[in-house]
Amino acid sequence: MTKIFSHTLWNEIGSRARRAKRRQAAIAYVSKDLLNLSKGDVLITDASAACVAAGLTNADLLQRLSTRGVSVYHCQGLHAKVARVDDYAVIGSANMSSSSERRLIEAGLITDQPSIVAGVASFIEQLRDQSELLGPNRLAALRQIKVVKRLPIGGRKTDTAVKPLGNRTWIVGVKELRAEPSSTEQGFIEKAAKQLDQQSEELDWIRWGVKGAFARDCREGDLLIQVWRSSKAKRPSRVMAATPVLLKQNNRNWTRFYLGDPLNAVELSFGQFKRHIARLGHSRAVKPNSAQLVESDSADAINRTWKSAHTS
């Protein structure tokens, strides 16, 4: 589903958010919780003193969300309004406020198109890594600011930078590693874990070589369909649904890709997957060591009909 909403935008977002298991958002100004944010969710907003003083961002609300277990971040100069609600992405003009919900003319795109969802997931992760996590002391200081309800003037230029986002899908053959990562590699993994705000043992990643189109061209925001086999097997046993690339690390000897949550929990057998893509007109042979780029139309068709392939 890909659809543009206007006057019912927050109704549609709110309905999906209430049913969602996970919510992540980068929204410039926040004065009302319209996403039903809860423990484990992520909110990035402009919580500068100027925005708080102008009433654009509400410090009391940020404090309540933080107490609830939401990871609340300040990003200087943020003007984006994007969110990921489970396997849906929201991109639009709407801030989280009563005026946006009730009075202002807003427009937004809500889609489950995997390439867009992956792009939004990568965008939010990049912002979060470069933003300030608001702790109790910082939130307490923001709550002391007198609100005068006027537009902020000036402000320093933001240093936040977002890499060009990928929006392509790759089919890659991955094999279970026989040995644990070396101490040097573990250092890179720990660095990635810190950047992605996760425990290193919970990270999902694949290690690749440094040569070839996949190592060179795959980037954050792309999707990987992983054809998996064990370390001793010659034939793959399962194929995992498209998963967004959140971070790419380059080393002299290898390239490592760190992955987010799959867009679909359903896994296919290797046979089911080959039959599925053949029915959709994908003519290239998929082998255990494949690393092939999928045309965008074919990728969308594969991902859109993934669940039905499990029962066929």
pLDDT in tens, 120-171: 999 999 999 999 999 999 999 999 999 886 554 445 555 666 677 777 899 9
With bands split at pLDDT 50, 70 and 90, how would you rate the model's confidence at 241?
A: very high
Asked if the model's pLDDT at residue 73 lies above 80, the reply is yes
Judged against a pLDDT cut of 60, whether residue 175 lies above it is answered with yes
pLDDT score for 201: 84
- Using DSSP's 3-state secondary structure scheme, residue 9 falls into helix
Tens-digit pLDDT profile for residues 86-125: 989 999 999 999 888 888 888 889 998 888 999 999 999 9
- In the 8-state DSSP scheme, what is residue 147? P
pLDDT band (50, 70, 90) for residue 275:
very high
Average pLDDT score over residue span 246-253: 91
Domain ranges of the chain: 2-143, 169-309
The predicted structure's pLDDT at residue 154:
47
Class of 2-143 in CATH: alpha beta
pLDDT of residue 283: 87
**DSSP track, the chain:** -EEEESTTHHHHHHHHHHH-S-EEEEES-BSS--S---TT-EEEE---HHHHHTTSS-HHHHHHHHHHT-EEEE-TT---EEEEETTEEEEES--BSHHHHHTS---EEEE--HHHHHHHHHHHHHHHHTSEE--HHHHHHHHTSPP--------PPP----PPPP--EEEEEEE--SSPPPHHHHHHHHHHHHHHTS-GGG-EEEEE-S-SHHHHH--TT-EEEEEEE-TT-SS--EEEEEEEEEEEEE-SS-EEEEE---S----B-HHHHHHHHHHTT--SPP-TT-EEEEPHHHHHHHHHTHHHHTT-
Q: What percent of the chain has pLDDT over 70?
A: 95
**What whole-number percentage of the chain has pLDDT above 90?**
62
pLDDT of residue 229 exceeding 70: yes
- Average pLDDT rounded to a whole number, residues 222-229: 94
* pTM for the full predicted model: 0.71
pLDDT value of residue 152: 46
